[in-house]
Amino acid sequence: MAKIKITQVKSTIDRSQRQKDTIKALGIQKLNRSVEKEATPQVLGMVAKVKHLVTVENI
C-alpha cells in the first residue's frame, strides 16, 4: 500500500466538532505537524473531509 504524508496547514478554530475529531483521528496534534499513514480508503475518506485544512503528499 502507498504511504501519504498529511500536514495540517490551517487551524481547527471555528470548525465543526466533527472536523476537529477527524483531524484528531488522523493523529495530527498541532498546526504544521505531519503524520505518515497508509493510503487506505478509510484514511483517504478522512482526508477528503478536511481537505481544506491539510495538505497531502505521496511518499
Q: What CATH number does residue 25 fall under?
A: 3.30.1390.20
- The pTM assigned to this predicted structure is 0.91
Q: How many domains does the chain have?
A: 1
pLDDT tens digit sequence for 7-23: 999 999 999 999 999 99
In one-letter notation, the amino acid at residue 11 is S
Q: Is the pLDDT of residue 38 over 90?
A: yes
Residues spanned by the domain of 12? 3-58
How confident is the prediction for the chain on average, in pLDDT?
96
Res 1: pLDDT: 80
**Of 3, 1, 6, 2, nearest in space to 35 by CA:** 6
Q: How many Å apart are CA 5 and CA 15, to the nearest integer?
A: 22
